[in-house]
Amino acid sequence: MLWDVFCRVIDNFGDIGVCWRLSADLAARGHGVRLWVDDASPLAWMAPQGHPGVEVRPWSDAERADLGTRPGDVVIEAFGCDPPDAFLAAMQRPQPPTWVNLEYLSAESYVERSHGLRSPVFSGPATGLNKRFFYPGFTPATGGLLREPDLLARQQRFHATQRLAWLHGVGVPAQPDDALVSVFCYAGAPLAAWLDALADEALAGGPHHPVTRILLTPGHATRLARDWAQQASSARVQALQLHTLPSLSQFDFDHLLWSCDLNIVRGEDSAVRALWTGRPHIWHIYPQEDGVHADKLGAFMARWMDAADWPPDLRRGVQATWLHFNGIEPGDTPPLPEWRGPWVAWARSSEASRTRLTRQTDLVTQLIEFVTGSG
């Protein structure tokens, strides 16, 4: 099948990140994909090699009255981005393409009620067509999560044979016993307070404490950490090893997450990739002025932790960590649950939650079944 995927880059990289990963996964399964995007510049570092079967097209081409392009078999509008009128008009044919609105990820209860609903169009160039809503999610009644068929096998091979070499290649001279934390956050993250806490942990451990390395992605994480290093005490600064990373492709961002004991991530695409590591992580959710992100975060914590039966003390500790990092429960930095090593409770419970999620059919498989059976 030929898929047309429409994406608008709003203010961060989550939209284009999800759309590229979706497009690449579809292409890897033998489909043709045209990705229509209003700003393709992030793909220069996110997907520098492109992907066979994915053609990146400028959004402006789809706005032309003389479109010159026949819509494919499936039209995906990501996150309600509204394809151009000229393209919608070209969808008016005896057998129109299947039209799907791929929605944002949420663990809230409305997702199950809304997944798969049909929305007839009564005005404009798409009059008479039907749009279907497809909701990613965490239960069998939703569309699942993006997960390539070989993802977990690639992670296992990487950790067994490539981890240290990859770290050295991006300028991190890690040793097998080092403790590693990755940071990818928004501007409002309380990173200084958390670096203080991590430094105090390292200092309390004495000279035999494992080296703690903080791996900083470009942008807010690097800026916030540099500000902290200029203001913190010399003892705290010396207790941590800060490493600024180059811009990473999606492929290498997975390697970063797989390499670390604790991952701080932001946005939808990175949060899902952190889930698939089965490692401790903190999700810095996109803040919204009306505060609805607090409900979204609470719903996710319940799905991720309660369903896999996390120990009560661990659940409370991780929830306190997430709520503080997101500014929902400000105040003193809560004690961070033990995160170093694969055998601590946080790591074991994260692995259990991941195992449970892998029993769910992945999003692309479900999406293909959805469009071929939607009529």
pLDDT tens-digit readout, 248-287: 999 999 999 999 999 999 988 999 999 999 999 999 998 8
73 belongs to the catalytic site: no
Domain ranges (residues) in the chain: 2-145+361-372, 151-358
Catalytic residue, candidates 15, 25, 108, 196: 15
Domain 151-358 has CATH 3.40.50: yes
268 belongs to the catalytic site: yes
Catalytic residue, candidates 254, 268, 269, 362: 268
User: Same topology for domains 2-145+361-372 and 151-358, yes or no?
Assistant: yes
pLDDT tens-digit readout, 297-308: 999 999 898 766
pLDDT tens-digit readout, 31-72: 999 999 999 999 999 999 999 999 999 999 999 978 788 999
The pLDDT value given to residue 307: 63
Which strands, in side-by-side order, build the sheet including 130-134? 54-58, 32-37, 2-7, 74-78, 98-102, 130-134, 118-120
Q: What's the CA gap between 77 and 353, in Å, rounded?
A: 30
Q: What's the CA gap between 231 and 192, in Å, rounded?
A: 9
Strands annotated E in 256-296: 262-266, 281-284
Q: Could you tell me if 10 and 78 are in contact, meaning their C-beta atoms sit under 8 angstroms apart?
A: no
Strands annotated E in the chain: 2-7, 32-37, 54-58, 74-78, 98-102, 118-120, 130-134, 179-183, 212-216, 240-244, 262-266, 281-284
Q: Which of the four CATH numbers 2.10.25, 3.90.380, 2.30.320, 3.40.50 does domain 2-145+361-372 have?
A: 3.40.50
